[in-house]
Structure 1
């Protein structure tokens, strides 16, 4: 694990392992790069796997105030610059998917391909925007631990909570370490994000879309909005919003096959 200074007094904490073509994996809200810890060992056998903690999450810097998705995307481009990555594959889970779409919209020339895991190109509905503000209020009034206690169990397949008890516990522990100001900043970024379904429709790059059939947060129909010969739609069975923890081996295989489909030049 490495701390990379992106700009003065702002750093991202990253994992960086393996050799070969680079793939950057982005985690979701109140997560960290540890969300990917069961997927990385399989991928790093063939690829260079870079897993940042997003702005405001994990061990990365957590400035106060509202963030924007564009700002978080700029962080990833700045990170790629620091790592001297001219081109790479970018795959984002949930919040990380929103960041990925912003990169794809503005920096497509830097990508071999991109993917969304349990994410969507749609903007927040009015109800969802209201819920973001309620989330901010809960974090401010009750603290991050109680907020994460309510959030995390909803991310897993409700029928398999006992089976995934260890993963749920790990996701809770990861969430507890989210700086409160980081969670607030990211919640406000998600609330204000624009609709980027057109980015998915217009791209000619290889596009990976992975949904879970038991996802209570982002149902498959909110992700599978684009079709084409360059689009891979994968529906994981008996999986909620946390495929990288619920079925890590299958997730690694899906990402590995997608990497093979991306032209590396």
Structure 2
């Protein structure tokens, strides 16, 4: 399970609680996030997602090697969905199914440089701003575990400022990756998220085997905004692929 920008593996706490009885869950902190190592100066010069894609691919490879008889499902949100797509593309023979939750894609210029949104990260985060963020998230997502909301509030302070400050072009054109993808895939969009109708049309045109589902009453964080619909869609898809 691969998280989004300025999040961490602890952001999956609700999913861990729900799925741990059935699945072995691996939810790493991406490079430059949570408790993972920071980017080196050299790594910050690489195309966006390149280092994180290699990291995720290594996790996929290790899991597949250690449990070769077990199906492997890769789930990603936002930045993590983009990383999940590329890492799965590199190890399609190891992955049984792929779930992409509202990946951040550019349509007209899929390889254009990415300018990070103005999130407070690193040493700029204060105790007051963390507390304010916690209160905001608790009001917005009252069903999420308090410890998950607290970890989400802290995640900005754990994000590498070097990653947040830079402008870098994505590693690959997502349209090429989708066109070549040969792994059962569920793409979750919402009525208020990043993936719009033009992108959904492009996905359906590029690779009609990809299942697309639009979750209502949700924004970019579909799982947090409409958990019942999110889990229903993901669990139905996974059960279909693994049975």
Q: Could you state the TM-score of these two structures normalised by the residue count of structure 1?
A: 0.68
Deviations 1:9-61 (A, max 9, x none): xxxxxxxxxxxxxxxx1110000112221122222232222111111111111
Deviations 1:78-122 (A, max 9, x none): 223444244621121111111112112222111112121111454
Cα distance in 1 for residues equivalent to 2:59 and 2:114: 32
With over 3 angstroms needed to count, the CA separation of the structure-2 counterparts of 1:71 and 1:180, relative to structure 1, is: closer
Contact 1:209 1:224 in 2 (8 A): no
Q: Which moved more, 1:73-82 or 1:240-249?
A: 73-82
2:37 — aligned with what?
Answer: 61
2:211 — aligned with what?
Answer: 232
Cα distance in 2 for residues equivalent to 1:82 and 1:177: 29
Alignment partner of 1:70 out of 13, 28, 50: 50
Cα distance in 1 for residues equivalent to 2:151 and 2:107: 25
Alignment partner of 2:187 out of 198, 203, 209: 209
Structure with a larger share of its residues in strand: 1
With over 3 angstroms needed to count, the CA separation of the structure-2 counterparts of 1:101 and 1:95, relative to structure 1, is: same
Contact 1:123 1:194 in 2 (8 A): no
Alignment partner of 1:113 out of 70, 90, 97: 97
Cα distance in 2 for residues equivalent to 1:127 and 1:202: 17
1:50 aligns with 2:26: yes
Helix, strand or coil for the counterpart of 1:55?
Answer: coil
Q: Which moved more, 1:28-37 or 1:243-252?
A: 243-252
Unaligned runs of at least 5 residues, structure 1 = 1-24
1:252 aligns with 2:231: yes
Deviations 1:208-261 (A, max 9, x none): 10012112x443543553236642211111101111222234322322222112
Cα distance in 1 for residues equivalent to 2:24 and 2:108: 33
Aligned residues: 225
Helix, strand or coil for the counterpart of 2:113?
Answer: helix
Q: Could you state the TM-score of these two structures normalised by the residue count of structure 2?
A: 0.74
Cα distance in 2 for residues equivalent to 1:49 and 1:204: 23
1:143 aligns with 2:121: no
1:164 aligns with 2:141: yes
With over 3 angstroms needed to count, the CA separation of the structure-2 counterparts of 1:139 and 1:171, relative to structure 1, is: closer
Cα distance in 1 for residues equivalent to 2:182 and 2:112: 30
Cα distance in 2 for residues equivalent to 1:50 and 1:212: 25
Helix, strand or coil for the counterpart of 1:29?
Answer: coil
1:178 aligns with 2:158: yes
Alignment partner of 1:96 out of 80, 84, 98: 80
2:115 — aligned with what?
Answer: 131
